Amino acid sequence: MPFLSGTPPYRPERPVFAIVLGNTLLSTVPGVSGAGMSPEKTVLTPVLDSELITRGAIRSRKWKPNTPTGCPTPAVITRAMTVLLGLEPLFVNAGLTTRPVVPCLDVYGEPGGDPREGDAVPRARDLYARGEQVGRFLSQSCDFLLLGECVPGGTTTALCVLRGLGIPASVSSSFVNNPVALKEAICARVQERIQAGGATDPLDIIRIGGDPMLAVAAGIASAFRGDAVLAGGTQMLAVAAVLRDLGKKVPAIATTVYVRDDPSAGFVATAEMIGARVYYVDPDFSAIGHPGLARYCVGEVKEGIGAGGAMFLARLMGKSEVEIRDTILTTASSY
């Protein structure tokens, strides 16, 4: 199995790695999200992950954004790759419940509400426009944009948006056992609300059933004038689908083989339906020598906060598979 499938486009000269952070109240519904040690703690994962990636350690809280079973957050992979590349990532605050501890390009949004109860992102259109503003700023000096995300519970909002756009998608999960029945129940309720409102515009569908990251990431990617690659799994499929339905160019996606191989997600088929080219990274964590990372291979975590895309970018920038795996192992072991 090759480390990277597909031919990388080229070696960027001035890449920027932007990671959009957001919350949806859905992550506090028990069973929806495994991106944190408990449902209540999942909402803090974007802030803790961004602290870990920027500073190499988490000092603002006494716990780590690991899964309930102790798998390390994928932020250790993203941290490892930014250190290896000497790259300072840019965090974008699309709407968080808590104040970040590292600088963020803040669009001054709000966390997404529970889409079963009412509009999840009332200002979706405005957030998209603010994302465009960010995309224009980044276009001035960067020729390549890797755009990641971190939204605990975000695969469920992505499912709502993909289905709302008429795409018969399933989505992945950070749990080994994807809570498909729970997600489908939430999604069914949201589809009723979308149909009751007669919504067909992608930004209206995000407003009703999405999360703030989806609006901001779509805005950034749509306005970026260089090559953009979306770094993530099924949540980035939703961003790609939104862009397609807005009549914009559909960016490529970079993710891990653990997302591709999730039988509950149908990632490859959905990507084909949307027309998104995908680069898959296989870091072969089964042999890396870290029991928590090895659990990625049996379907836990799989991806997150741009980890797959970060490994993809490291290969683009000429780093070897050995360097990439060694740096990840060191980072995961010491954090």
* Interface contacts to its own copies, rule CB under 8 A: 14, 16, 54, 87-88, 90, 93, 99-108, 130, 133-134, 136-137, 140-142
Question: Nearer Cβ to its own copies, position 11 or 99?
Answer: 99
- Work out how close the CB of 47 gets to its own copies at its nearest, in angstroms, rounded to a whole number: 10
* Closest C-alpha among 212, 250, 256, 206 to residue 234: 256
Radius of gyration of the chain measured on its C-alpha atoms:
18
Place of tokens 């979308």: 194
Asked if residue 67 lies in contact with residue 34, where contact means CB atoms within 8 angstroms, the answer is: yes
Question: Nearer Cβ to its own copies, position 8 or 226?
Answer: 226
- Work out how close the CB of 135 gets to its own copies at its nearest, in angstroms, rounded to a whole number: 10
Question: Nearer Cβ to its own copies, position 107 or 293?
Answer: 107
- Work out how close the CB of 147 gets to its own copies at its nearest, in angstroms, rounded to a whole number: 15
Contacts 24+ apart (CB under 8 A), 328-331: 328/76, 328/77, 328/80, 328/81, 328/283, 328/288, 328/293, 329/288, 329/289, 329/290, 329/293, 330/80, 331/76, 331/77, 331/79, 331/80, 331/83
Q: What is the largest CA-CA distance in the chain?
A: 53
Residue 32 corresponds to which amino acid?
V
- Work out how close the CB of 311 gets to its own copies at its nearest, in angstroms, rounded to a whole number: 19
- Work out how close the CB of 284 gets to its own copies at its nearest, in angstroms, rounded to a whole number: 30
Separation between Cα atoms, residue 60 and residue 311, nearest integer Å: 27
Question: Nearer Cβ to its own copies, position 89 or 232?
Answer: 89
Backbone angles phi, psi at 102, to 5 degrees: -125, 155
- Work out how close the CB of 73 gets to its own copies at its nearest, in angstroms, rounded to a whole number: 21
Question: Nearer Cβ to its own copies, position 171 or 313?
Answer: 313
The distance from CA 131 to its chain's CA centroid, rounded to whole angstroms, is: 16
Question: Nearer Cβ to its own copies, position 64 or 130?
Answer: 130
